[in-house]
Amino acid sequence: MILDKRTDGRTKLTGLIGNPVEHTVSPVIHNSLFSYMGINGIYVPLKVDASGLEAAVRGLAALGFTGFNVTIPYKEAVCRLLDEADGEVELLGAVNTVRIRRGRLYGYNTDGEGFVTAFKKQTGTGFSGKKICILGAGGTARTLAIKAVQEGAGEVCIINRTVSKAEEIAGYINGKLLEGSRPGKPVLPLASGAEQAHAAIDEADIIINATSVGMFPDTDANPVDDSVEYRSKPIAYDVIYNPVETRFLRMARMKGCRTYNGACMLFYQGIRAFEIWMEAKVPDDVSEELMASFLKYVGV
């Protein structure tokens, strides 16, 4: 019998809290990074119920974890549990990476950086002057809307079933983030299914699904009505990576759109999170080799 000696009392503990976590492939990224970098560490997914969120976070600190990621639906709720947050968390109102030092919780958000890096590498284009529709009004939608505006988007429409949540994000960006810096109100909140929302989708340059609609196991769901024609043939981007092609992406592809899933976004935000925890830069050659293997693994 071969002895398993991968972990010991000096192993750096990291992980992911969220609900659900059964679909995640983040352990593949981080555990591979530990191996590539020669670091004695491990990354585990941890399913946490909402009622036990604070106890779970405090428990990770008490158990000596080096850090952890935060995913749906806790990216906003964990903010109130932090001891300190960097400027990106304060700007975006959401946290996806926590570093633990001497029992204190330091929050970061690597989603925005990961998204922008991945989108530009995948599509060969950026956001400057583009008409962008973002589906959803949760923490991820807020992050992507802010980053799109920072990148010079010409117009951003936030489309959500509960329009008041879209209005909250739009009001923050238009009133606090952009006040006095550029004319007009570039962020527009719209209700899903409304005629104005359909028109915005048909005229968009880029459509981003920032909801969990269509994620495994509910793979038949689509945040956009199947009848939408995508007349402008926009780039369709889904932050979901499981399944590889959601119904949203499949319908958009069939109607002539270029489509991309969130695997690259996950990869680049993961690289940055790992660097924060380990306080070390991942070499470019390691990152490129691992990305090629990871994308092949997830079927991209």
Q: At what angle do helices 163-171 and 139-150 cross, to 10 degrees?
A: 40
Using alpha carbons, list the distances in angstroms from residue 126 to 182, 257, 264: 19, 16, 15
Q: In the structure encoding, which two tokens stand for residue 49, read together?
A: 């119920």
Helix/strand/coil (H, E, C) string of 262-291? Answer: CHHHHHHHHHHHHHHHHCCCCCHHHHHHHH
Cα–Cα dist 264/291, whole Å = 8
Buried-state track 182-200, b at ≥16 Cβ within 10 A, e below 16:
eeeebbbbbbbeeeebbeb
Residues assigned a catalytic role: 75
